[in-house]
Structure 1
Amino acid sequence: MKIAALQMVSGPEVAANLATARRLLDDAAAQGARLAALPEYFCLMGQHDRDKLAIAETPGQGPIQAMLATAARELGLWIIGGTLPMRADAPDRVRNATLVFSPDGRLAARYDKIHLFAYDNGRESYDEARVLEPGTAPTVFDAGGLRTGLSVCYDLRFPELFRRYNPCDLVAVPAAFTYTTGEKHWELLLRARAVENQCYVIAPAQGGRHPNGRRTWGHSMVVDPWGEVLAVLPEGEGVVCADVDVQRLAQVRQQLPALAHRKL
Protein backbone atom coordinates (compact mmCIF):
# COMPACT_ATOMS: atom_id res chain seq x y z
CA MET A 1 0.00 0.00 0.00
CA LYS A 2 1.31 3.45 -0.87
CA ILE A 3 1.07 5.87 2.07
CA ALA A 4 1.59 9.63 2.19
CA ALA A 5 2.79 11.93 4.97
CA LEU A 6 1.55 15.49 4.50
CA GLN A 7 3.56 18.44 5.78
CA MET A 8 2.01 21.83 6.52
CA VAL A 9 2.91 25.23 7.97
CA SER A 10 -0.47 25.98 9.49
CA GLY A 11 -1.63 29.40 10.62
CA PRO A 12 -4.49 30.95 12.63
CA GLU A 13 -7.19 30.79 9.91
CA VAL A 14 -9.07 27.49 10.00
CA ALA A 15 -10.61 27.86 6.53
CA ALA A 16 -7.22 28.51 4.92
CA ASN A 17 -5.67 25.53 6.72
CA LEU A 18 -8.50 23.25 5.62
CA ALA A 19 -8.09 24.39 2.02
CA THR A 20 -4.37 23.62 2.17
CA ALA A 21 -5.02 20.22 3.74
CA ARG A 22 -7.52 19.34 1.02
CA ARG A 23 -5.09 20.39 -1.71
CA LEU A 24 -2.37 18.18 -0.22
CA LEU A 25 -4.80 15.28 0.13
CA ASP A 26 -5.70 15.68 -3.55
CA ASP A 27 -1.99 15.58 -4.36
CA ALA A 28 -1.46 12.43 -2.29
CA ALA A 29 -4.35 10.68 -4.02
CA ALA A 30 -3.03 11.75 -7.44
CA GLN A 31 0.31 10.12 -6.55
CA GLY A 32 -1.48 6.84 -5.86
CA ALA A 33 -1.62 6.91 -2.07
CA ARG A 34 -4.31 4.83 -0.39
CA LEU A 35 -3.61 6.22 3.08
CA ALA A 36 -2.69 9.83 3.88
CA ALA A 37 -1.81 11.37 7.23
CA LEU A 38 -1.98 15.05 8.21
CA PRO A 39 0.16 16.71 10.90
CA GLU A 40 -0.76 17.66 14.44
CA TYR A 41 -2.72 20.92 14.64
CA PHE A 42 -3.17 20.92 10.85
CA CYS A 43 -6.37 22.94 11.29
CA LEU A 44 -4.99 25.66 13.57
CA MET A 45 -1.70 27.05 14.80
CA GLY A 46 -3.11 29.98 16.73
CA GLN A 47 -1.59 33.02 18.34
CA HIS A 48 -2.38 31.63 21.79
CA ASP A 49 -2.90 28.15 23.22
CA ARG A 50 -6.46 28.98 24.23
CA ASP A 51 -7.44 29.68 20.60
CA LYS A 52 -8.16 25.95 20.38
CA LEU A 53 -11.15 26.36 22.68
CA ALA A 54 -13.02 28.55 20.20
CA ILE A 55 -12.89 26.03 17.34
CA ALA A 56 -13.34 22.82 19.36
CA GLU A 57 -15.82 20.40 17.81
CA THR A 58 -18.16 17.74 19.14
CA PRO A 59 -18.18 14.23 17.66
CA GLY A 60 -19.78 14.18 14.23
CA GLN A 61 -20.22 17.93 13.99
CA GLY A 62 -18.11 20.76 12.63
CA PRO A 63 -16.28 21.93 9.50
CA ILE A 64 -13.00 20.18 10.29
CA GLN A 65 -14.59 16.75 10.60
CA ALA A 66 -16.76 17.46 7.57
CA MET A 67 -13.72 18.25 5.42
CA LEU A 68 -11.93 15.07 6.50
CA ALA A 69 -14.95 12.84 5.91
CA THR A 70 -15.71 14.40 2.52
CA ALA A 71 -12.11 14.15 1.34
CA ALA A 72 -11.87 10.51 2.42
CA ARG A 73 -15.05 9.64 0.53
CA GLU A 74 -14.33 11.67 -2.62
CA LEU A 75 -10.70 10.56 -2.90
CA GLY A 76 -11.18 6.97 -1.70
CA LEU A 77 -8.50 7.44 0.98
CA TRP A 78 -7.85 6.31 4.47
CA ILE A 79 -7.21 9.66 6.19
CA ILE A 80 -5.43 9.99 9.51
CA GLY A 81 -6.62 13.47 10.33
CA GLY A 82 -3.63 14.88 12.18
CA THR A 83 -5.19 16.37 15.28
CA LEU A 84 -8.06 18.72 15.95
CA PRO A 85 -9.47 20.09 19.20
CA MET A 86 -12.45 18.11 20.48
CA ARG A 87 -14.53 19.31 23.39
CA ALA A 88 -13.70 17.84 26.78
CA ASP A 89 -15.77 17.52 29.95
CA ALA A 90 -14.22 20.65 31.43
CA PRO A 91 -15.24 23.84 29.58
CA ASP A 92 -11.70 25.25 29.72
CA ARG A 93 -10.07 22.13 28.23
CA VAL A 94 -10.08 20.26 24.92
CA ARG A 95 -8.80 16.89 23.78
CA ASN A 96 -6.08 16.88 21.11
CA ALA A 97 -7.71 14.19 19.00
CA THR A 98 -6.71 12.18 15.95
CA LEU A 99 -9.72 11.12 13.90
CA VAL A 100 -9.39 8.46 11.21
CA PHE A 101 -11.80 8.29 8.29
CA SER A 102 -12.21 5.29 6.00
CA PRO A 103 -12.49 5.55 2.18
CA ASP A 104 -16.29 5.62 2.44
CA GLY A 105 -16.14 8.69 4.69
CA ARG A 106 -17.02 6.94 7.95
CA LEU A 107 -15.22 7.60 11.22
CA ALA A 108 -13.03 4.52 11.74
CA ALA A 109 -11.03 5.41 14.86
CA ARG A 110 -10.25 8.13 17.38
CA TYR A 111 -7.18 8.62 19.54
CA ASP A 112 -6.76 11.38 22.13
CA LYS A 113 -3.16 12.40 22.84
CA ILE A 114 -2.11 10.82 26.12
CA HIS A 115 1.22 12.49 26.93
CA LEU A 116 1.13 16.29 27.16
CA PHE A 117 4.24 18.25 26.21
CA ALA A 118 5.97 20.68 28.57
CA TYR A 119 9.31 22.34 27.87
CA ASP A 120 11.24 25.36 29.12
CA ASN A 121 14.82 26.19 28.20
CA GLY A 122 14.66 29.80 29.34
CA ARG A 123 13.92 31.09 25.83
CA GLU A 124 11.05 28.83 24.76
CA SER A 125 8.35 27.45 27.00
CA TYR A 126 5.33 25.27 26.34
CA ASP A 127 2.83 23.55 28.61
CA GLU A 128 -0.01 21.77 26.81
CA ALA A 129 -1.74 20.92 30.09
CA ARG A 130 -2.89 24.55 30.37
CA VAL A 131 -5.49 23.85 27.69
CA LEU A 132 -5.44 20.12 26.90
CA GLU A 133 -7.03 17.25 28.76
CA PRO A 134 -5.04 14.03 28.26
CA GLY A 135 -6.44 10.92 26.66
CA THR A 136 -6.31 7.61 28.46
CA ALA A 137 -6.44 4.78 25.92
CA PRO A 138 -4.24 3.51 23.07
CA THR A 139 -6.03 3.09 19.74
CA VAL A 140 -5.40 0.62 16.94
CA PHE A 141 -7.43 0.08 13.78
CA ASP A 142 -7.32 -1.88 10.52
CA ALA A 143 -6.55 0.26 7.47
CA GLY A 144 -7.17 -1.92 4.45
CA GLY A 145 -5.37 -4.86 6.00
CA LEU A 146 -2.70 -2.85 7.83
CA ARG A 147 -2.88 -3.01 11.62
CA THR A 148 -2.24 0.63 12.49
CA GLY A 149 -1.51 2.22 15.86
CA LEU A 150 -2.03 5.89 16.67
CA SER A 151 0.10 8.34 18.60
CA VAL A 152 0.71 12.09 18.60
CA CYS A 153 3.97 14.07 18.79
CA TYR A 154 5.20 13.92 22.43
CA ASP A 155 3.90 10.34 22.69
CA LEU A 156 6.95 9.45 20.60
CA ARG A 157 9.11 9.68 23.72
CA PHE A 158 7.18 6.94 25.53
CA PRO A 159 8.04 3.54 23.99
CA GLU A 160 5.65 1.67 26.27
CA LEU A 161 2.72 3.08 24.28
CA PHE A 162 4.08 1.61 21.06
CA ARG A 163 4.67 -1.77 22.69
CA ARG A 164 0.93 -1.89 23.35
CA TYR A 165 0.40 -2.02 19.59
CA ASN A 166 2.54 -5.05 18.85
CA PRO A 167 2.29 -6.74 16.50
CA CYS A 168 1.61 -3.70 14.35
CA ASP A 169 2.26 -3.05 10.66
CA LEU A 170 2.18 0.74 10.80
CA VAL A 171 2.32 3.43 13.47
CA ALA A 172 1.27 7.04 12.80
CA VAL A 173 2.95 9.95 14.59
CA PRO A 174 1.38 13.27 13.51
CA ALA A 175 3.45 16.00 15.12
CA ALA A 176 4.35 19.65 15.54
CA PHE A 177 7.82 19.17 17.01
CA THR A 178 9.61 22.36 17.99
CA TYR A 179 12.67 23.18 15.91
CA THR A 180 14.88 22.91 19.00
CA THR A 181 13.82 19.43 20.08
CA GLY A 182 13.17 18.16 16.58
CA GLU A 183 16.67 18.89 15.37
CA LYS A 184 18.12 16.58 18.02
CA HIS A 185 15.49 13.92 18.61
CA TRP A 186 12.83 13.62 15.87
CA GLU A 187 14.48 11.25 13.39
CA LEU A 188 16.34 9.41 16.16
CA LEU A 189 13.12 8.54 17.98
CA LEU A 190 11.12 7.70 14.87
CA ARG A 191 13.74 5.27 13.67
CA ALA A 192 14.02 3.74 17.14
CA ARG A 193 10.25 3.14 17.33
CA ALA A 194 10.35 1.52 13.88
CA VAL A 195 13.28 -0.74 14.69
CA GLU A 196 12.20 -1.87 18.16
CA ASN A 197 8.64 -2.60 17.02
CA GLN A 198 9.59 -3.90 13.56
CA CYS A 199 6.94 -1.83 11.83
CA TYR A 200 6.58 1.07 9.42
CA VAL A 201 6.24 4.56 10.84
CA ILE A 202 4.47 7.43 9.10
CA ALA A 203 5.27 10.82 10.62
CA PRO A 204 3.51 13.87 9.11
CA ALA A 205 4.69 17.10 10.69
CA GLN A 206 4.39 20.84 10.82
CA GLY A 207 7.48 22.24 9.14
CA GLY A 208 8.40 25.90 8.95
CA ARG A 209 7.94 29.38 10.40
CA HIS A 210 4.35 29.98 11.48
CA PRO A 211 2.50 33.32 11.63
CA ASN A 212 2.56 33.13 15.45
CA GLY A 213 6.36 33.15 15.35
CA ARG A 214 6.81 29.51 16.27
CA ARG A 215 9.18 27.44 14.15
CA THR A 216 8.55 23.73 13.77
CA TRP A 217 11.09 21.13 12.68
CA GLY A 218 9.26 19.45 9.82
CA HIS A 219 11.11 16.49 8.30
CA SER A 220 7.92 14.55 7.66
CA MET A 221 8.96 11.03 6.81
CA VAL A 222 8.19 7.37 6.35
CA VAL A 223 10.50 4.85 8.05
CA ASP A 224 10.64 1.12 7.32
CA PRO A 225 10.90 -1.67 9.94
CA TRP A 226 14.70 -1.84 9.53
CA GLY A 227 14.98 1.84 10.42
CA GLU A 228 15.57 3.08 6.88
CA VAL A 229 14.11 6.48 6.03
CA LEU A 230 12.20 5.87 2.80
CA ALA A 231 11.09 9.44 2.14
CA VAL A 232 11.50 12.80 3.88
CA LEU A 233 10.58 16.46 3.36
CA PRO A 234 12.79 18.80 5.41
CA GLU A 235 10.66 21.95 5.42
CA GLY A 236 7.64 23.62 3.84
CA GLU A 237 4.33 22.30 2.54
CA GLY A 238 4.32 19.07 0.59
CA VAL A 239 3.69 15.35 0.36
CA VAL A 240 6.09 12.44 0.80
CA CYS A 241 5.07 8.95 -0.31
CA ALA A 242 6.42 5.46 0.24
CA ASP A 243 5.16 1.90 -0.01
CA VAL A 244 4.31 -0.36 2.91
CA ASP A 245 5.61 -3.75 1.79
CA VAL A 246 4.13 -6.63 3.79
CA GLN A 247 6.83 -8.95 2.45
CA ARG A 248 9.47 -6.59 3.85
CA LEU A 249 7.71 -6.69 7.22
CA ALA A 250 7.75 -10.48 7.19
CA GLN A 251 11.40 -10.60 6.11
CA VAL A 252 12.59 -8.31 8.92
CA ARG A 253 10.61 -10.21 11.54
CA GLN A 254 11.85 -13.56 10.28
CA GLN A 255 15.55 -12.70 10.03
CA LEU A 256 15.60 -10.98 13.44
CA PRO A 257 12.65 -12.30 15.49
CA ALA A 258 13.09 -9.78 18.30
CA LEU A 259 9.37 -9.53 19.02
CA ALA A 260 9.22 -13.27 19.62
CA HIS A 261 12.23 -13.00 21.97
CA ARG A 262 10.55 -10.57 24.38
CA LYS A 263 10.62 -11.64 28.02
CA LEU A 264 8.94 -8.67 29.75
Structure 2
Amino acid sequence: MSTIQSGLPVALVQLCATEDAALNQRQAEAWLERAVQEAPGGVRPRLLMLPEVWNAPYAVDRFAAFAEPIPEPGADLTQGASASLAMVARLARRHGVAVIAGSIPEQGEAGRIYNTATVIDPRGVLLAKHRKLHLFDVDVPGGICFRESDTLTAGDGLTVLSGSNDPLGTGLSDPPNLGLLICYDIRFPELALLMQQRHGCTLLACPAAFNTTTGPRHWHLVMRARAIDTQCFVLACSSARPQGDGYPSYGHSLVVDPWGTVIAEAGEGEQVLHAQLDLSQVALARQAIPTGDQRRRDVYRLSDAAVGGQPDDGVEGS
Protein backbone atom coordinates (compact mmCIF):
# COMPACT_ATOMS: atom_id res chain seq x y z
CA MET A 1 0.00 0.00 0.00
CA SER A 2 1.39 3.39 -0.94
CA THR A 3 1.98 5.90 1.83
CA ILE A 4 -0.13 9.06 1.75
CA GLN A 5 0.45 12.18 3.78
CA SER A 6 -2.57 12.85 5.98
CA GLY A 7 -5.88 12.06 4.25
CA LEU A 8 -7.99 9.18 5.57
CA PRO A 9 -11.24 8.37 3.72
CA VAL A 10 -13.85 6.88 6.08
CA ALA A 11 -17.43 5.66 5.78
CA LEU A 12 -19.97 5.45 8.62
CA VAL A 13 -22.90 3.06 8.09
CA GLN A 14 -26.11 4.22 9.76
CA LEU A 15 -28.61 1.36 9.85
CA CYS A 16 -31.54 -0.03 11.81
CA ALA A 17 -31.62 -3.49 13.42
CA THR A 18 -34.59 -5.87 13.46
CA GLU A 19 -35.68 -8.86 15.55
CA ASP A 20 -34.14 -11.21 12.97
CA ALA A 21 -30.44 -11.81 13.65
CA ALA A 22 -29.70 -13.30 10.23
CA LEU A 23 -31.46 -10.43 8.50
CA ASN A 24 -29.47 -7.92 10.53
CA GLN A 25 -26.23 -9.53 9.36
CA ARG A 26 -27.34 -9.56 5.71
CA GLN A 27 -28.45 -5.95 5.84
CA ALA A 28 -25.25 -4.81 7.54
CA GLU A 29 -23.16 -6.65 4.95
CA ALA A 30 -25.12 -5.04 2.11
CA TRP A 31 -24.64 -1.58 3.57
CA LEU A 32 -20.93 -2.17 4.15
CA GLU A 33 -20.55 -3.34 0.55
CA ARG A 34 -22.35 -0.22 -0.55
CA ALA A 35 -20.01 1.92 1.56
CA VAL A 36 -17.00 0.42 -0.21
CA GLN A 37 -18.40 0.45 -3.73
CA GLU A 38 -20.15 3.81 -3.86
CA ALA A 39 -17.50 6.13 -2.44
CA PRO A 40 -17.71 9.67 -3.85
CA GLY A 41 -15.09 10.47 -6.45
CA GLY A 42 -14.05 6.84 -6.56
CA VAL A 43 -11.93 7.26 -3.40
CA ARG A 44 -12.66 4.06 -1.52
CA PRO A 45 -12.70 4.29 2.28
CA ARG A 46 -9.82 2.79 4.22
CA LEU A 47 -11.90 2.63 7.41
CA LEU A 48 -15.55 1.61 7.80
CA MET A 49 -17.70 1.98 10.92
CA LEU A 50 -20.96 0.50 12.25
CA PRO A 51 -23.22 1.85 15.04
CA GLU A 52 -23.96 0.64 18.55
CA VAL A 53 -25.82 -2.71 18.84
CA TRP A 54 -26.30 -3.11 15.10
CA ASN A 55 -27.01 -6.86 15.18
CA ALA A 56 -29.92 -6.74 17.65
CA PRO A 57 -32.81 -4.60 18.85
CA TYR A 58 -31.58 -1.98 21.31
CA ALA A 59 -33.75 -3.27 24.16
CA VAL A 60 -32.71 -4.37 27.65
CA ASP A 61 -34.77 -7.55 27.48
CA ARG A 62 -33.31 -8.60 24.10
CA PHE A 63 -29.56 -8.25 24.66
CA ALA A 64 -29.07 -11.75 26.12
CA ALA A 65 -30.92 -13.46 23.26
CA PHE A 66 -28.64 -11.82 20.67
CA ALA A 67 -25.36 -12.03 22.61
CA GLU A 68 -22.37 -13.65 20.90
CA PRO A 69 -18.94 -14.67 22.23
CA ILE A 70 -16.05 -12.37 21.32
CA PRO A 71 -12.44 -13.58 21.66
CA GLU A 72 -9.49 -11.51 22.78
CA PRO A 73 -7.48 -9.28 20.40
CA GLY A 74 -5.29 -11.21 17.99
CA ALA A 75 -7.96 -13.74 17.05
CA ASP A 76 -8.93 -14.42 13.43
CA LEU A 77 -12.64 -13.61 13.39
CA THR A 78 -13.43 -14.90 9.91
CA GLN A 79 -14.33 -18.37 11.20
CA GLY A 80 -15.06 -17.37 14.79
CA ALA A 81 -17.98 -18.15 17.07
CA SER A 82 -19.54 -14.71 16.58
CA ALA A 83 -21.57 -14.93 13.37
CA SER A 84 -21.97 -11.16 13.24
CA LEU A 85 -18.26 -10.40 13.56
CA ALA A 86 -17.30 -13.27 11.23
CA MET A 87 -19.38 -11.58 8.53
CA VAL A 88 -17.64 -8.25 9.13
CA ALA A 89 -14.20 -9.89 9.24
CA ARG A 90 -14.75 -11.69 5.94
CA LEU A 91 -15.85 -8.42 4.35
CA ALA A 92 -12.78 -6.65 5.78
CA ARG A 93 -10.53 -9.33 4.28
CA ARG A 94 -12.40 -9.34 0.97
CA HIS A 95 -11.93 -5.61 0.47
CA GLY A 96 -8.70 -5.08 2.39
CA VAL A 97 -10.30 -2.49 4.66
CA ALA A 98 -10.36 -1.97 8.44
CA VAL A 99 -13.70 -1.84 10.25
CA ILE A 100 -14.73 -0.32 13.55
CA ALA A 101 -17.47 -2.91 13.92
CA GLY A 102 -19.77 -0.85 16.12
CA SER A 103 -20.89 -2.81 19.16
CA ILE A 104 -22.82 -6.00 19.75
CA PRO A 105 -24.03 -7.72 22.92
CA GLU A 106 -21.17 -9.96 24.08
CA GLN A 107 -21.67 -13.26 25.89
CA GLY A 108 -18.97 -12.97 28.51
CA GLU A 109 -17.66 -15.06 31.34
CA ALA A 110 -19.91 -16.34 34.15
CA GLY A 111 -23.04 -15.54 32.16
CA ARG A 112 -22.32 -11.82 32.02
CA ILE A 113 -23.49 -9.76 29.04
CA TYR A 114 -21.47 -6.77 27.85
CA ASN A 115 -22.05 -4.07 25.26
CA THR A 116 -18.80 -4.53 23.33
CA ALA A 117 -17.23 -2.64 20.45
CA THR A 118 -14.51 -4.11 18.25
CA VAL A 119 -11.95 -3.04 15.67
CA ILE A 120 -11.06 -5.46 12.86
CA ASP A 121 -8.04 -5.18 10.59
CA PRO A 122 -7.92 -5.75 6.80
CA ARG A 123 -7.02 -9.42 7.38
CA GLY A 124 -10.11 -10.06 9.49
CA VAL A 125 -8.12 -10.12 12.74
CA LEU A 126 -9.49 -8.59 15.95
CA LEU A 127 -7.34 -5.59 16.90
CA ALA A 128 -9.25 -4.25 19.91
CA LYS A 129 -12.38 -4.77 21.97
CA HIS A 130 -14.01 -2.28 24.30
CA ARG A 131 -16.68 -3.13 26.84
CA LYS A 132 -18.89 -0.13 27.49
CA LEU A 133 -17.73 1.48 30.72
CA HIS A 134 -20.71 3.68 31.52
CA LEU A 135 -24.07 1.95 31.29
CA PHE A 136 -27.02 3.96 30.03
CA ASP A 137 -29.24 4.21 33.13
CA VAL A 138 -31.40 7.32 32.74
CA ASP A 139 -34.91 8.50 33.51
CA VAL A 140 -35.72 11.79 31.80
CA PRO A 141 -39.13 13.15 32.92
CA GLY A 142 -41.45 13.13 29.94
CA GLY A 143 -38.80 11.41 27.84
CA ILE A 144 -36.66 8.29 27.77
CA CYS A 145 -36.38 5.77 30.61
CA PHE A 146 -33.77 3.08 30.05
CA ARG A 147 -31.59 0.89 32.31
CA GLU A 148 -28.82 -1.03 30.60
CA SER A 149 -27.61 -2.27 33.99
CA ASP A 150 -30.73 -4.44 34.29
CA THR A 151 -29.04 -6.78 31.80
CA LEU A 152 -25.52 -5.60 31.06
CA THR A 153 -22.28 -5.58 33.03
CA ALA A 154 -19.95 -2.59 32.68
CA GLY A 155 -16.40 -2.93 31.38
CA ASP A 156 -13.44 -1.95 33.53
CA GLY A 157 -10.78 -0.41 31.27
CA LEU A 158 -10.22 2.19 28.59
CA THR A 159 -9.31 0.98 25.10
CA VAL A 160 -6.71 2.63 22.87
CA LEU A 161 -5.28 1.16 19.68
CA SER A 162 -1.80 2.45 18.92
CA GLY A 163 -1.11 3.59 15.37
CA SER A 164 2.38 2.09 15.53
CA ASN A 165 3.00 -0.11 12.48
CA ASP A 166 -0.34 1.06 11.04
CA PRO A 167 -2.59 -1.83 12.21
CA LEU A 168 -5.60 -0.28 10.44
CA GLY A 169 -3.78 -0.31 7.13
CA THR A 170 -4.43 3.37 6.52
CA GLY A 171 -1.27 3.93 4.49
CA LEU A 172 -0.70 7.17 6.36
CA SER A 173 2.78 8.43 7.14
CA ASP A 174 1.58 9.09 10.71
CA PRO A 175 -1.24 6.62 11.45
CA PRO A 176 -3.72 7.67 14.14
CA ASN A 177 -3.89 6.40 17.69
CA LEU A 178 -7.53 5.36 18.03
CA GLY A 179 -9.58 5.71 21.22
CA LEU A 180 -12.72 3.57 21.39
CA LEU A 181 -15.85 4.59 23.31
CA ILE A 182 -19.50 3.51 23.20
CA CYS A 183 -22.36 6.01 23.31
CA TYR A 184 -22.85 7.02 26.97
CA ASP A 185 -19.05 6.83 27.49
CA ILE A 186 -18.73 10.05 25.48
CA ARG A 187 -20.50 12.05 28.21
CA PHE A 188 -17.57 11.51 30.58
CA PRO A 189 -14.85 13.91 29.40
CA GLU A 190 -12.19 12.42 31.67
CA LEU A 191 -12.18 9.25 29.56
CA ALA A 192 -11.61 11.07 26.26
CA LEU A 193 -9.04 13.36 27.87
CA LEU A 194 -7.10 10.38 29.20
CA MET A 195 -7.07 8.90 25.71
CA GLN A 196 -5.62 12.11 24.31
CA GLN A 197 -3.33 13.26 27.15
CA ARG A 198 -1.88 9.93 28.30
CA HIS A 199 -2.19 7.77 25.18
CA GLY A 200 -1.73 10.24 22.33
CA CYS A 201 -5.05 9.70 20.57
CA THR A 202 -5.75 11.71 17.45
CA LEU A 203 -8.96 9.88 16.52
CA LEU A 204 -11.91 8.95 18.75
CA ALA A 205 -14.59 6.51 17.57
CA CYS A 206 -17.98 6.36 19.25
CA PRO A 207 -20.62 3.93 17.99
CA ALA A 208 -23.83 5.22 19.54
CA ALA A 209 -27.60 5.13 19.83
CA PHE A 210 -28.71 8.48 21.21
CA ASN A 211 -32.49 8.81 21.12
CA THR A 212 -35.09 11.40 20.25
CA THR A 213 -35.06 12.71 23.84
CA THR A 214 -31.31 13.11 24.35
CA GLY A 215 -30.30 13.52 20.72
CA PRO A 216 -31.81 16.93 19.98
CA ARG A 217 -30.45 18.29 23.27
CA HIS A 218 -26.97 16.86 23.42
CA TRP A 219 -25.82 14.81 20.37
CA HIS A 220 -24.08 17.59 18.47
CA LEU A 221 -22.96 19.38 21.63
CA VAL A 222 -21.29 16.37 23.21
CA MET A 223 -19.52 15.17 20.07
CA ARG A 224 -18.25 18.65 19.25
CA ALA A 225 -17.23 19.24 22.88
CA ARG A 226 -15.12 16.06 23.00
CA ALA A 227 -13.47 17.01 19.70
CA ILE A 228 -12.60 20.44 21.13
CA ASP A 229 -11.53 19.04 24.53
CA THR A 230 -9.12 16.57 22.96
CA GLN A 231 -8.37 18.28 19.64
CA CYS A 232 -9.08 14.95 17.97
CA PHE A 233 -11.26 13.87 15.09
CA VAL A 234 -14.47 12.25 16.38
CA LEU A 235 -16.39 9.59 14.45
CA ALA A 236 -19.90 9.22 15.90
CA CYS A 237 -21.82 6.47 14.12
CA SER A 238 -25.47 6.23 15.13
CA SER A 239 -28.18 3.69 14.49
CA ALA A 240 -30.95 4.87 12.17
CA ARG A 241 -34.45 5.98 13.19
CA PRO A 242 -36.90 3.04 12.93
CA GLN A 243 -39.90 3.37 10.65
CA GLY A 244 -42.29 1.89 13.21
CA ASP A 245 -42.00 0.84 16.84
CA GLY A 246 -38.69 0.26 18.55
CA TYR A 247 -35.98 2.25 20.25
CA PRO A 248 -36.24 5.79 18.86
CA SER A 249 -32.67 6.32 17.65
CA TYR A 250 -31.77 9.89 16.77
CA GLY A 251 -29.61 9.14 13.74
CA HIS A 252 -27.48 12.08 12.53
CA SER A 253 -24.14 10.24 12.45
CA LEU A 254 -21.35 12.82 12.61
CA VAL A 255 -17.74 13.38 11.70
CA VAL A 256 -16.22 16.24 13.71
CA ASP A 257 -12.77 17.75 13.17
CA PRO A 258 -10.29 18.85 15.90
CA TRP A 259 -11.61 22.42 15.71
CA GLY A 260 -15.11 21.24 16.64
CA THR A 261 -16.51 21.66 13.13
CA VAL A 262 -18.98 19.08 11.83
CA ILE A 263 -17.54 18.10 8.45
CA ALA A 264 -20.14 15.43 7.62
CA GLU A 265 -23.61 14.62 8.98
CA ALA A 266 -26.23 12.01 8.14
CA GLY A 267 -29.98 12.36 8.32
CA GLU A 268 -32.37 10.17 10.32
CA GLY A 269 -32.68 7.11 8.09
CA GLU A 270 -30.42 4.37 6.83
CA GLN A 271 -27.49 5.67 4.80
CA VAL A 272 -23.73 5.72 4.34
CA LEU A 273 -21.87 8.84 5.47
CA HIS A 274 -18.55 9.41 3.71
CA ALA A 275 -15.86 11.82 4.90
CA GLN A 276 -12.20 12.58 4.34
CA LEU A 277 -10.13 13.11 7.49
CA ASP A 278 -7.22 15.51 7.04
CA LEU A 279 -5.27 14.33 10.07
CA SER A 280 -2.74 17.14 9.66
CA GLN A 281 -5.46 19.33 11.22
CA VAL A 282 -4.81 17.69 14.60
CA ALA A 283 -1.30 19.12 14.85
CA LEU A 284 -2.45 22.47 13.48
CA ALA A 285 -5.25 22.76 16.07
CA ARG A 286 -2.94 21.77 18.92
CA GLN A 287 -0.30 24.26 17.81
CA ALA A 288 -2.79 27.11 17.40
CA ILE A 289 -4.55 26.48 20.74
CA PRO A 290 -1.93 24.62 22.83
CA THR A 291 -4.10 23.46 25.71
CA GLY A 292 -1.98 20.31 25.97
CA ASP A 293 1.00 22.42 27.04
CA GLN A 294 -0.98 24.84 29.18
CA ARG A 295 -2.66 22.49 31.64
CA ARG A 296 -1.84 23.28 35.27
CA ARG A 297 -0.55 19.88 36.31
CA ASP A 298 0.69 21.47 39.52
CA VAL A 299 -2.94 22.12 40.40
CA TYR A 300 -4.86 19.24 38.77
CA ARG A 301 -4.19 16.09 36.74
CA LEU A 302 -5.91 12.99 35.42
CA SER A 303 -5.04 9.57 36.82
CA ASP A 304 -5.20 6.51 34.59
CA ALA A 305 -5.94 3.76 37.09
CA ALA A 306 -6.38 1.08 34.41
CA VAL A 307 -2.68 1.13 33.54
CA GLY A 308 -1.20 2.68 36.65
CA GLY A 309 -1.20 6.22 35.32
CA GLN A 310 1.47 5.48 32.71
CA PRO A 311 1.08 5.67 28.94
CA ASP A 312 1.57 2.45 27.03
CA ASP A 313 1.51 1.28 23.43
CA GLY A 314 -1.07 -1.05 21.98
CA VAL A 315 -4.44 -1.82 23.51
CA GLU A 316 -5.33 -1.05 27.09
CA GLY A 317 -8.42 -2.45 28.72
CA SER A 318 -11.04 -4.65 27.14
Superposition TM-score tier, normalisation by shorter sequence: over 0.9
Match of 2:194?
164
Match of 1:3?
10
Which protein has the larger Cα radius of gyration, Structure 1 or Structure 2? 2
For structure 2, the 5+ residue unaligned runs are 1-7, 72-79, 302-318
Which residue identity does 1:10 align to in structure 2? A
Give the Cα separation in 1 of the matches to 2:236 and 2:83: 24
Matches within 5 A, 1:157-236: 157-166=187-196, 167-209=200-242, 212-236=245-269
Match of 1:50?
61
Give the Cα separation in 2 of the matches to 1:78 and 1:94: 26
Task: Work out the percentage of aligned pairs sharing the same amino acid.
Answer: 37
Give the Cα separation in 2 of the matches to 1:257 and 1:154: 28
Give the Cα separation in 2 of the matches to 1:210 and 1:135: 32
Correspondent of 1:12 among 9, 14, 19: 19
Correspondent of 2:290 among 254, 257, 261: 257
Offset, 1:209: 2.2
Offset, 1:206: 1.1
Which residue identity does 1:226 align to in structure 2? W
Correspondent of 1:85 among 77, 95, 105: 105
Offset, 1:210: 5.7
Offset, 1:262: 1.8
Residues 95-125 of structure 1 show CA distances to partners (whole Å, capped at 9, x for unaligned) of 1101110011111111000000112235531
Number of residue pairs the alignment of both structures matches: 262
> Secondary structure in 1 aligned to 2:294?
coil
Correspondent of 2:154 among 134, 150, 166: 134
Give the Cα separation in 2 of the matches to 1:121 and 1:110: 30
Query: Contact conserved, 1:35 with 1:77, CA < 8 A, in 2?
Result: yes
Which residue identity does 1:86 align to in structure 2? E
Residues 37-80 of structure 1 show CA distances to partners (whole Å, capped at 9, x for unaligned) of 1000110116x523221222222412112111111111211111
Give the Cα separation in 2 of the matches to 1:227 and 1:62: 36
Give the Cα separation in 1 of the matches to 2:233 and 2:11: 12
> Secondary structure in 2 aligned to 1:98?
strand
- Relative to structure 2, which stretch is displaced further, 76-85 or 141-150? 141-150
Give the Cα separation in 1 of the matches to 2:134 and 2:214: 16
Give the Cα separation in 2 of the matches to 1:27 and 1:64: 18
> Secondary structure in 1 aligned to 2:99?
strand
TM-score (norm 1): 0.94
Match of 1:110?
129
Give the Cα separation in 1 of the matches to 2:156 and 2:88: 24
- Relative to structure 2, which stretch is displaced further, 107-116 or 49-58? 49-58
Residues 204-249 of structure 1 show CA distances to partners (whole Å, capped at 9, x for unaligned) of 1012126543211010010000011011012111111111212211
For structure 1, the 5+ residue unaligned runs are none
> Secondary structure in 2 aligned to 1:9?
coil
> Secondary structure in 1 aligned to 2:48?
strand
Give the Cα separation in 2 of the matches to 1:179 and 1:235: 10
Match of 2:305?
none
Match of 1:151?
181
Give the Cα separation in 1 of the matches to 2:130 and 2:224: 22
> Secondary structure in 1 aligned to 2:29?
helix
Q: Quote the RMSD (CA, aligned, Å).
A: 1.5
TM-score (norm 2): 0.79
Match of 1:245?
278
Correspondent of 2:118 among 99, 117, 124: 99
Give the Cα separation in 2 of the matches to 1:65 and 1:9: 17
Query: Contact conserved, 2:235 with 2:255, CA < 8 A, in 1?
Result: yes
Match of 2:138?
119
Query: Contact conserved, 2:13 with 2:48, CA < 8 A, in 1?
Result: yes
